Amino acid sequence: MEILTLVALIAIGAYLLKSHEQRKRIVLLAGHLGNHQIERLMETLTEGYLRCLGEDDPARREQIWRMLDATEEKLSAEFDSFVAGFARVDGAQTRVSKLPIALPFADRLWPGATFDLRDALAIHARGIAETMRNEAGRTPKSKAYTMSAELFLMQHTCHWFCKSKAVASARMLARHQTSYEQLLGAVSPATRRAYGALTGQ
């Protein structure tokens, strides 16, 4: 009975420590994101893509694509600004555990099994900017598909930092009916290579 009590106390203590760490990460990231319109612009883009893809009139569809081009440009600029600000955060606060589940102090106990969120965000910024400029010459529909993947993968990374990879993947599947593997397959090749090298995926 004493062993069960001890195990229960250890489990409760680990849960409280993990929750405290996660709250600190959420506050840190939200504090930086709160200075930007990234979330609102992402919502505008995703809604615009859906509306455009459902538009039957070619002239109207072209007009919507042009409006979305401007939104993509604003979003890329906002994200670049966010990344530049977040790059000044102390590196000890930006480590992300590669372990599938959240464990307290995992980034300090297993530093080799971590990556730096600042590096990941820089990769996302490059991917968003490259897609926005359409350097690969994608069709509007293909560009929208790739941009959506770049943005969703960035969201996944943020959730991974705040909670864990498992939670981030579950949220992505629930909200967008998209698996983590599908996201990696849909982003630009440059993003996929750089992100894979950083995270070991």
Q: Which of 61, 57, 59, 81 is nearest to 69 (CA)?
A: 61
Tell whether the model's pLDDT for residue 110 goes beyond 70: no
Using CA atoms, how far apart are residues 162 and 23, in angstroms rounded to an integer? 8
Full-model pTM: 0.87
Residue spans of the domains in the chain: they are: 2-199
Of 50-54, 64-68, 148-152, 170-174, highest mean pLDDT: 148-152
- What does the pLDDT read at residue 159? 94
Could you give the angle at which helices 58-86 and 2-33 cross, rounded to 10 degrees? 110
Which of 89, 94, 93, 79 lies closest to 42 in space, CA to CA?
79
What SS3 state is found at 119? helix
By CB neighbour count within 10 A (0-12 exposed, 13-18 middle, 19+ buried), where does 195 fall? buried
Cα separation, 169 vs 167, whole angstroms: 5
For residue 78, name the pLDDT band (cuts at 50, 70, 90): very high
Q: Crossing angle, helix 140-162 and helix 117-133, to 10 degrees?
A: 170
Calpha distance 41→98 (Å, rounded): 29
What lies within 8 Å, CB to CB, of 144 at 6+ separation is 49, 52, 53, 68
Predicted pLDDT at 99 = 77
11-25, 30-44, 102-116, 138-152: least confident range: 11-25
Q: Which residue has the tokens 């790059």?
A: 87
Q: What is the mean pLDDT of the chain?
A: 86
Question: Using CA atoms, how far apart are residues 96 and 103, in angstroms rounded to an integer?
Answer: 11
Q: What average pLDDT score do residues 134-144 get? A: 92
How far is the C-alpha of 169 from the C-alpha of 181, rounded, in Å?
9
Task: Please give the pLDDT value at position 83.
Answer: 97
pLDDT tens-digit profile of 53-75?
887 788 888 888 888 999 999 99
Tell me: the pLDDT tens digits for 8-59? 555 555 445 556 577 888 888 989 898 899 999 999 999 999 888 887 788 8
